[in-house]
Structure 1
Amino acid sequence: MTDIEMLADWKAATERHADGDLARSLEIQKDRFGISDQLAQILENTAREMGWIT
């Protein structure tokens, strides 16, 4: 699975919950999976570009 597929999966997961929040999910997943600060920033920037977070 590529990083963009992973990000899209997390986005879809947040849409299944009334209180889903992709930005919060990214923080949780960063710690959960040991994602580097650099990759976390890339994922956040990508989500912003896609209009998934503000």
Structure 2
Amino acid sequence: MRALGLLLFVLGGAGTAFAVWATYHHGRPRDLLFAALAPAAMLLALAGLVLVFVPGFFG
């Protein structure tokens, strides 16, 4: 579970960074899509951190 948590953390962090970057570099309506994607990717990264530090949390 720790490897999955680390993978989720890395992918969530990268997804958040890309979504914030894309929000500022694309016009409407795609910027709204990326703005909605950023918090979702952040939640994915936080779930990954929970799996890393509390391995039996979800199972």
TM category (shorter chain) comes to 0.3 to 0.5
Instruction: Using structure 2 for the length normalisation, give the TM-score.
Output: 0.32
User: Greater relative contact order: 1 or 2 (C-alpha under 8 angstroms, separation 6 or more)?
Assistant: 2
Q: Which has the larger radius of gyration?
A: 2
TM-score by length of 1: 0.34
